Chain A
């Protein structure tokens, strides 16, 4: 079952998407407020003094940022594909199910409650507190959702989505409460989480996220075959030898890890987790073994395009990237709803 996953990375639509992604990289690397020349690319092997502004921006700001955007897009596509497979529902995504708002909610609580409690956190730790709590929030909502879905609504997909919507509303309410209680200074930190931004992209984050993504891909390879069986329903999946509860837990931890990381460093970036797998499903069908790798590529392309647009439309200012993912994502979402309606 895993061999198809590997070949899935090498067949035709994948090659097409790789080429599109590389083209987007090419455009994104050249586009930006600071003009970049061909010489700026060569500074890696030609020591020149002083470094031009183009070379500095290219190697220290722009390249890490566009790589980071692509990686985050891939992470969102992957977690969206896994969530939809797990819940056997093409309308599910970590955002709709409250996982991302859970992460943002945990971050908001940390900003307001922890900072308000006067606990002094060493500078070395400050950088890590929010990502870690955001991650914990994502895992918490995932496990809550899993429990509620299993015990309260059994096999009902509508019930599951309603649970997700309820959790979303709960998280939004807590974020709202935090906003109400926050001081001006805390509000500034909160804005970042709700707007979403890739501005923090750096080489160290790119390296960390690459490792996380590689580990997630390696882990997901072993899950995707079994996730196809979930389409039969949970009982039938168990009949063909799938340990459903274990699989669910694995996927949920993976999704929480991926979402938690992306929300922790980039804030809430919506719609990609929903749209990327759906586009892929329209083109190559619902086989998870092909869907998951392709959804990562499509997610990377969408976020890279959205972020590049956000960077260049208002030079020297920048538009929040969430606006452009929604501009791309909302029409797709409507198309998805229409096609579901037509399909009955």
Chain B
């Protein structure tokens, strides 16, 4: 099951478990290469967010080893870590009505001396389709606009580094499909240009199949699968979610998956 690795991974988990309340999650073992795009799939409550919190260092491992760039994850100082990995959160709320450019600039707050801040904020906003929002107050923005500003903040954080890690937690779930598409494109472009790896928690199976080259399956608090996207089959997905799925293939050869109420049709 573990994916064969040749290069030195940027992020590696070796039989890591984590305790949350009474529950133990894991063990998680995985390795992520620079520039990889990995989606995490699984039913609600399976432990996807727990895995992300572990990688974000909000939770510490109870056992096993978690390394980031060949150093133990727990050994990184927060400012150093913030220069190599960024997190796009699920919720977009910001207390007070901070101005948008300040919110974007906060991605770089840990840098003591940052002469290019203003130009990076501008470029990051453009990349996240949020340039027109500069100068407004964050609390006056719509949900979609807030998502774009948060994305611009994450872009600003990893703007001038290479081979970083971008953790994404279902940030686009509440947005309309067109916006979801353009923002995901913005993330792919941003990351590809700098060799950043992306690890995203997704609800949308199709988004995962279309945009990500590798899928991690999580169920009942443990990793149950680690596949290159082309190897993922309908029965694997059905087993993951315990539902019947229907599958259609578009003219362009893309696979579209949706829950099925009818008899299962073979892929």
Residues on A lying within 8 angstroms of B by beta carbon are 1, 88-90, 225-226, 228-233, 235-236, 238-243, 281, 285-287, 343
Contacts and interface: CB of A to CB of B under 8 A. Distances in A.
Interface in B104-151: 106-110, 112, 114, 137, 139
B123 to A, nearest CB: 18
| Range class of the B interface residue count | 20 to 34
B236 to A, nearest CB: 32
B174 to A, nearest CB: 18
A88 to B, nearest CB: 4
A88 B109 contact: no
Given A240-B110, A241-B83, A228 B57 contact: no
B106 A232 contact: yes
Contacts of A89: 95
Contacts, number: 76
B57 A88 contact: no
Given A241-B110, A242-B78, 18 more contacts: A88-B95, A88-B96, A90-B96, A225-B109, A232-B103, A233-B94, A233-B95, A238-B58, A238-B78, A240-B82, A240-B110, A240-B157, A241-B78, A241-B79, A281-B96, A285-B97, A285-B137, A286-B97
Contacts of A236: 87, 89
A343 B138 CA distance: 13
A217 B251 CA distance: 66
Given A229-B109, A240-B109, A242-B109, A286 B79 contact: no
B235 interface: no
A281 B139 CA distance: 14
Interface of B: 56-58, 78-83, 86-87, 89, 91, 93-99, 102-103, 106-110, 112, 114, 137, 139, 153, 157
Nearest to A230: B95
A228 B82 contact: no
Contacts of A228: 98, 102, 106, 109
A233 B96 contact: no
Ranked 3 nearest A-B pairs via Cβ: A241-B110, A241-B82, A286-B96
A226 B109 contact: yes
Nearest to A89: B95
A27 to B, nearest CB: 34
B86 A231 contact: no
Contacts of B94: 231-233
A277 to B, nearest CB: 11
Give the one of B91, B103, B106 with max A CB within 10 A: B106
11 contacts: A1-B109, A90-B96, A233-B94, A235-B58, A235-B89, A239-B82, A239-B89, A241-B83, A285-B97, A285-B98, A286-B98
B247 to A, nearest CB: 37
Nearest to B89: A236
Nearest to A157: B95
Nearest to A244: B78
B99 A287 contact: yes
A240 B58 contact: no
Contacts of A241: 78-83, 109-110
Contacts of B109: 1, 225-226, 228-229, 240-242
A235 B114 CA distance: 23
Contacts of A287: 98-99, 102
Give the one of A229, A231, A241 with max B CB within 10 A: A241
B113 to A, nearest CB: 9
A285 B99 contact: yes
Contacts of B80: 241
Contacts of B82: 239-241
Contacts of B86: 239-240
Contacts of B153: 240
Nearest to A2: B112
B180 to A, nearest CB: 21
Contacts of A88: 95-96
A285 B103 CA distance: 13
A150 to B, nearest CB: 13
A343 B139 CA distance: 10
B78 A231 contact: no
A23 to B, nearest CB: 30
